[in-house]
Amino acid sequence: MKYTKLPSTDIKVSKICLGTMTWGNQNTEAEGHAQMDFALDHGVNFIDTAELYPVPATAETQGLTSKYIGTWLKKNNTRDKVIIASKIAGPGDYTAHIRTTGFRDNSIKDALDLELQRLQTDYIDLYQLHWPERQTNTFGVRDFKPSPNDPWSDNFNEVLHTLKTFVDAGKIRSIGISNEKAWGAMRYAEEVRNHNLTPVSTTQNAYSMLNRVFEGDLAEVSLRENIGLLAYSPLAFGVLSGKYIEGTAADNARLKLFPRFARYSSEQSTQATKQYLKLAQDLGISLTTLALAFVNQRPFVTSNIIGATNLDQLKENIKSIDTEISEETLNRINEIHAAIPNPAP
């Protein structure tokens, strides 16, 4: 395994992070525990969850993922061996069953205390804002379209001050953002500089060979402001494993169970995936390995959040850290990207 540090901290994390959002829907508690056992045995010390999980989100399953992690931590007495990241859900219809107050009032305190209970721990290593409160283009929306009815008012300073109180209290060690845009990331950086607040360490955004939107402006923000990318969906909901093109997807595969998640299933995405699959075949490696190795090596990536529904997938995903993408291979990836740029924003 390879390791790095969360920017602006001394927290050492594996370059591969174990994503958990299937636990509670596609995976049982026992399967989640088995994945954590396997990951820890193979050098992965970084686990990402959220109060929202599992996905798809429902009131009946909300919080199950973190509860599974909590029972594993208690059973194995492994809290000091792993770095736990979690998130407070942003506002919207999708999360109305959790709360409707966004990050205001006592929302962060309530969310954090409930998550600590679920995880059966006294602290969270990285606490993230799952998505912005303001209306912006995220989750596959390509273009920003301003809304005159957006009720949000600028509260970056307020949110950062609230988070700092929990850093000072020892309940969280570092803070992050997620599904953010360049403007939002820079506003956080500005408030941190001007008011001596806890630095924003990371942003968790979608990034893969089918979605390199991060490179448009956030990559520069990441490198110049020292805000590392935690790349999620590096396999684009499993599309970049090639299993949907080759017809080998299992019955419990994500897009078979939840076909409404069509972010990576456009005609252009399929055409690009076929070309990436051919490249992987030419190299004699799996498309999964090619896709993950590409993300692992990007200079702005702090950690690559992989997800799996079985141990065979998990083994292949973790092993991708041992594959080096040559300059020639990167050039071929970039040629496909130039021909079919960001087919899945």
Q: Specify the range with the lowest mean pLDDT, choosing from 43-47, 83-87, 251-255.
A: 251-255
Task: Classify the C-alpha dihedral 169-172-177-183 as positive or negative.
Answer: positive
112, 74 Cβ separation under 8 angstroms = no
Is residue 329 pLDDT above 90, yes or no?
A: yes
Strands 12-14 and 16-19: what pairing? unpaired
Which one, of 57, 38, 46, lies nearest residue 86 by Cα?
46
Is residue 244 pLDDT above 90, yes or no?
A: no
Q: Where are the alpha helices (DSSP H) in the chain?
A: 29-41, 64-76, 107-119, 156-168, 182-195, 218-225, 243-246, 254-257, 267-283, 287-296, 311-319, 327-339
Q: How confident is the model at residue 261 (pLDDT cuts 50, 70, 90)?
A: confident
Cα-Cα-Cα-Cα torsion 258, 260, 261, 262, nearest 10 degrees, comes to 130
Q: Which of 3, 53, 127, 276 is catalytic?
A: 53
The separation between the first and the last C-alpha atoms of the chain, rounded to the nearest angstrom, is 30
Per the listing, tokens 């080998």 go with: 248
Q: What pLDDT is recorded for position 293?
A: 98
Q: Please work out, in degrees rounded to the nearest 5, the angle formed at the alpha carbon of residue 248 by the alpha carbons of 247 and 250.
A: 120
Q: Specify the range with the lowest mean pLDDT, choosing from 15-29, 138-152, 292-306.
A: 138-152
Q: What pLDDT is recorded for position 139?
A: 86
Which pLDDT tens digit goes with each residue over 298-312?
999 999 999 999 999
Q: Specify the range with the lowest mean pLDDT, choosing from 28-37, 64-73, 243-252.
A: 243-252
Mean pLDDT on 227-248: 92
Residues 6+ apart with CB under 8 A from 116: 122, 123, 124, 171
Q: How confident is the model at residue 111 (pLDDT cuts 50, 70, 90)?
A: very high
Spatial distance between the Cα atoms of 71 and 85, rounded to a whole number of angstroms = 16
Q: What pLDDT is recorded for position 246?
A: 80
pLDDT, averaged across the chain? 95
Is residue 294 pLDDT above 80, yes or no?
A: yes
Is residue 256 pLDDT above 70, yes or no?
A: no
Is residue 262 pLDDT above 80, yes or no?
A: no
According to CATH, the topology of domain 3-339 is TIM Barrel (3.20.20)
Confirm whether 127 is a catalytic residue: no
Which pLDDT tens digit goes with each residue over 309-324?
999 999 999 999 999 9
Percent of the chain with pLDDT over 70: 98
Taking each helix axis from N to C end, the angle separating 182-195 and 156-168, rounded to the nearest 10 degrees, works out to 60
Q: What pLDDT is recorded for position 257?
A: 64
Which pLDDT tens digit goes with each residue over 174-212?
999 999 999 999 999 999 999 999 999 999 999 999 999
Residues linked to residue 91 through DSSP beta bridges, in sequence order: none
Spatial distance between the Cα atoms of 155 and 241, rounded to a whole number of angstroms = 40
Mean pLDDT on 130-159: 90
Spell out the domain ranges in the chain: 3-339
Identify whether 56 is preceded by a cis peptide bond (ω within 30 of 0): yes
